[in-house]
Amino acid sequence: MSEFLLELHSEEIPARMQAKAAADLKKIVCDQLKTAGLAYVDARSFVTPRRLALVVDGLPEKQPDVSEEKKGPKVGAHEKALEGFMKANSLTSIDQAEVRNTPKGDFYFVVNEIKGRDTTEVLSEIIVETLKSFPWPKSMKWSRNSFRWVRPLHSILAIFKGETLKGLFDFGNQTLDFGNQTRGHRFLAPDWFEVKNLDDYLHKLRLAKVLVDENERRDLIETQAKELCIAEGLSLKDDQGLLNEVAGLVEWPVLLMGQIADRFMSVPHEVLSTSMKEHQKYFSVLDGDGKLANRFVFAANTETVDGGQTIISGNERVLASRLSDAEFFWDQDKKDKLDSRVEALSSIVFQAKLGTLAEKISRVQDLAEALSEQVGCGAKQARRAAELAKADLTTGMVYEFPELQGVMGRYYALHDGENSEVAEAIAEHYSPLGPSDRCPSAPISVAVALADKIDTLVGFFGIDELPTGSKDPFALRRAALSIIRLITENNLQINLRKAFAASFSAYTGQLTQPEDKTIDGLMSFIADRLKVALKDKGVRHDLITAVFALGDEDDLVRLLARVDALAGLLKTDDGANLLAAYRRAANIVRIEEKKDKTVFDATVDTVLLQQSEEQALHEALEGASQEATKALEREDFTGAMAALAGLRPPMDAFFDKVTVNDDDPALRKNRLCLLSRIGVILGQVADFSRIEG
């Protein structure tokens, strides 16, 4: 068993492409190895800004020999068929084929013994095919070559068992031979050197100032950055995305700390952090109170003789230039009041069929006001927050940094003297943006956030622009999950159907789908998203479906209380046996209804209840129905489930003692109606037919 080492050395690979490229290299090569019949023990891929590498361990020295059996024409077939078979299998005579008896007669067969090829030969072909088929999201040509790669490719290191593989790759206008050489850091150790295997490769590259393992680079960056901060009594702002990106920008990370000029500290700190992150890939630093400190940390891709002072000074000058732009936008934007910018939203299209942002804001204002009482905030303030929610989209700052939408609106609103709760609602109405994002809890924020997302969902469902498969260009799934979180985490009892209907009415002729179809579709969509949202919490999706199937439950808080109570019931022996008894009863009724081509939903005739067991079941059903109804009216779902749990003993006794399909047609019909009544009464709390397991 032997080791195969491959390195594709190029100019800088964009950081955002590196992780997928490493995974793709491993998959493409390993898939081809499996196709070639070359088993291996382990495979690992590596990536740096200037190289993709792969090592495959435990490869055999040659492919296994295989026998290939081919079935030919039937004995006595036309001469042309025999000639074609012989030619395809390099036979000089049909007598060289074997005749076998099959259920369909005697047929010719030929068995070809295929000798396995040397692994070195197969690997050379795999490298060429990998380069040709590599799925870069963006690629380029260089020189006069027809071949495309993410960036110009400089070398192909290909070693098997310590020996260089024979082969080359044709770029279209030039060729590149496979070799056993690579080079280190482009500035600190640019010379070429030979390697023999993975250990030699990693060791020599480390000496040449290259850390090949991206996880090692990432950990080193984080450790050095934190040490710099601790030395100053500060802390590093957590940003895992930026950390991953910076690890893809350097091969030999050296962390340094610079200082932000005091004049810029009056600019909102979110602006400073965003500018440093997006433009310069700098890490923000926090003081002891968790506020932005006048420091920043960055990764240099080189070592210095002066402790990095020259590099730090240069980066401070570049940052000052960037922050001067941000300071300019901040000063300019404050010259106009936020509410003066609302009119400009009429020139921004929300969606071609759904009108402008100004029209959306008008609808959101009405809906936020309608929701204000249920959410617990003042209608006037909810309208005001909704009116200003999108106004910062017309500012210079948000044009430069779109990710600061809402955040800047808050700052400008406070500068204009707006109510602080209104200002917070402007910042928070986009939230929550994902499962890890904080969910707003302030009533005005919740009202505007709900109204904004409901308007979006109703609009797109109303024009039949729905998510399909993995495609969701308008982030409707995220909007639905946000609505679920806003309602459930704030324990709000909101009738979603009523809210959707109010939103639908606010659209004036843009929607092409009927209102009932739009709302029914939205309720199903919310139900599906609710299952996703609660999956990690261990809530069974079938129980959500069982409660949603009632059709009259659109209050998510109340629905989840029902689901919780139903789950509690089914965890008990009485609940599990009740479900089994219900299924038995439902199956009997279904079979007999199909046989008689009728529905057994008539009122039970108490005169025909002859046996004590059927009388007891009838009394228990009616008693449980009354108890469950009263419990549901006071939203005591646990009490309703407890009332149903008491049905187990009389149902067990009924099935033990009573013959449902009695010879007397009247008794049979009455007993089937009694069994049908079980489903009706259980259906007060959930559709038990939707429960799995």
pLDDT digits (tens, 9 = 90+) for 405-430: 999 999 999 999 999 999 999 999 99
Q: Mean of the pLDDT values across residues 143-162?
A: 94
Token pair for 242: 């930026």
**Distance of alpha carbon 200 from alpha carbon 53, whole angstroms:** 14
Residue 122 has pLDDT above 70, yes or no: yes
Spatial contact of 261 and 276, defined as CB atoms under 8 Å apart:
no
The answer to whether the beta carbons of residues 357 and 345 sit under 8 Å apart is yes
| CB-based contacts of 308-314 (< 8 A; 24+ apart in sequence) | 308/254, 308/256, 311/256, 312/256, 312/257, 312/258
With bands split at pLDDT 50, 70 and 90, how would you rate the model's confidence at 259? very high
Structure confidence at residue 1 as a pLDDT band (50, 70, 90): low
Residue 367 and residue 503 in contact, taking contact as beta carbons nearer than 8 Å: yes
Integer-rounded Cα radius of gyration of the chain: 36
Exposure string of 108-121, with b = 16+ CB inside 10 Å and e = fewer, is bebeeeeebeebbe
From residue 557, alpha-carbon distances to 372, 551, 626, 630, 637 in Å are 17, 15, 24, 19, 12
Mean pLDDT, range 456-468, rounded to an integer: 94
Check whether 686 has a pLDDT greater than 90.
no
Mean pLDDT of 360-378: 95
DSSP for 334-398, written as a single string: TTS-GGGGGGGGGGSEEETTTEEHHHHHHHHHHHHHHHHHHHTS-HHHHHHHHHHTTGGGGSHHH
Instruction: For the chain, give the percent of residues with pLDDT over 70.
Output: 100
One-letter-per-residue 3-state SS of 277-318: HHHHCCEEEECCCCCEEEEEEEEECCCCCCCCHHHHHHHHHH
**Looking at residue 533, what is its pLDDT?**
83
The closest of 188, 215, 139, 147 to 304, measured between CA atoms, is 188
The full set of domain ranges for the chain reads 2-62+118-207, 67-114, 214-333, 345-538, 567-690
What confidence tier does 322 reach under pLDDT thresholds 50, 70, 90?
very high
**Residue that is written with structure tokens 């395809």 in the block:** 88
Q: List the CATH code of the domain at 345-538.
A: 1.10.3210
188, 190, 196, 199: CA torsion to nearest 10 = 20
Fold held by 567-690? Isoleucyl-tRNA Synthetase; Domain 1 (1.10.730)
Do 2-62+118-207 and 567-690 agree at the fold level? no
Residue range 222-233, pLDDT digits in tens: 999 999 999 999
**For residue 273, what are its two tokens?**
């952090």
State mean pLDDT over 381-398: 97
Cα(554)–Cα(523) distance, integer angstroms: 8
Amino acid at 22: A
CB 393 within 8 A of CB 348: yes
- The number of C-alpha atoms within 13 Å of 168 and in the hemisphere containing its C-beta is 7
Query: Distance between CA 433 and CA 475 in Å, rounded?
Result: 10
Residue with tokens 């594709």: 8
Query: What type of residue is 85?
Result: F
Please enumerate in sequence order all residues whose Cβ is within 8 A of that of 196, keeping only pairs 6 or more positions apart, or say none.
Answer: 159, 162, 180
Q: How far, in whole angstroms, is CA 103 from its chain's centroid? A: 53
Per-residue model confidence as pLDDT tens digits over 558-596: 888 888 888 888 888 888 888 888 888 889 999 998 998
CA-nearest of 410, 382, 383, 384 to 395 is 410
Q: Of 3.30.70, 1.10.3470, 1.20.1260, 3.40.720, which CATH number belongs to 2-62+118-207?
A: 3.30.70
**DSSP-H helix ranges across 160-250:** 198-207, 214-231, 240-247
What pLDDT does residue 169 have?
A: 95
Q: Which among 299, 284, 320 is positioned nearest to 219, based on CA atoms? A: 299
In terms of Cα–Cα distance, which of 588, 598, 597, 591 is closest to 671? Answer: 588
Residue 604 has pLDDT above 80, yes or no: yes
Q: How confident is the model at residue 46 (pLDDT cuts 50, 70, 90)?
A: very high
CA distance 407 to 45: 41
Give residues with Cβ within 8 angstroms of 250, minimum separation 6: 49, 217, 221, 299, 300, 301
Name the amino acid, one letter, at 684. Answer: Q
**Angle in degrees, CA 404, 239, 301, rounded to 5:** 110
Are 578 and 648 in contact, with CB atoms under 8 Å apart? yes
Give the contacts of 412 (CB within 8 A, at least 6 positions apart).
333, 334, 338, 391, 392, 395
pLDDT in tens, 304-314: 888 899 999 99
Tokens of 402: 């779109």
- Structure token digits, residue 551: 């059709």
Rounded mean pLDDT of the chain? Answer: 92
Contacts of 283 (CB under 8 A, 6+ apart): 225, 236, 237, 239, 242, 243, 246, 276, 277, 296, 297, 298
- The predicted structure's pLDDT at residue 635: 86
Instruction: Copy the structure tokens of residue 395.
Output: 């500012």
What pLDDT does residue 305 have? 85
Q: Which two tokens stand for residue 154?
A: 């400089």
Work out the pLDDT band at 447, boundaries 50, 70, 90.
very high
- Round to whole Å and give the CA distance between 499 and 381: 19
What are 198's two structure tokens? 């993975």
Measure Cα distances from 498 to 454, 482, 490, 684 in Å.
11, 18, 19, 22
What residue type is 450 in one-letter code? L
Query: Which has the higher per-residue pLDDT, 444 or 531?
Result: 444
Question: In terms of Cα–Cα distance, which of 624, 582, 609, 623 is closest to 670?
Answer: 609
Ramachandran angles phi, psi of 112, nearest 5°: -100, 125
From CA 526, how far away is CA 393, in angstroms rounded?
A: 29
Q: From CA 689, how far away is CA 379, in angstroms rounded?
A: 43
| DSSP label at residue 166 | P
Residues above pLDDT 90, as percent of the chain:
67
How distant, in Å, are the alpha carbons of 603, 615, 689 from that of 583? 21, 21, 8
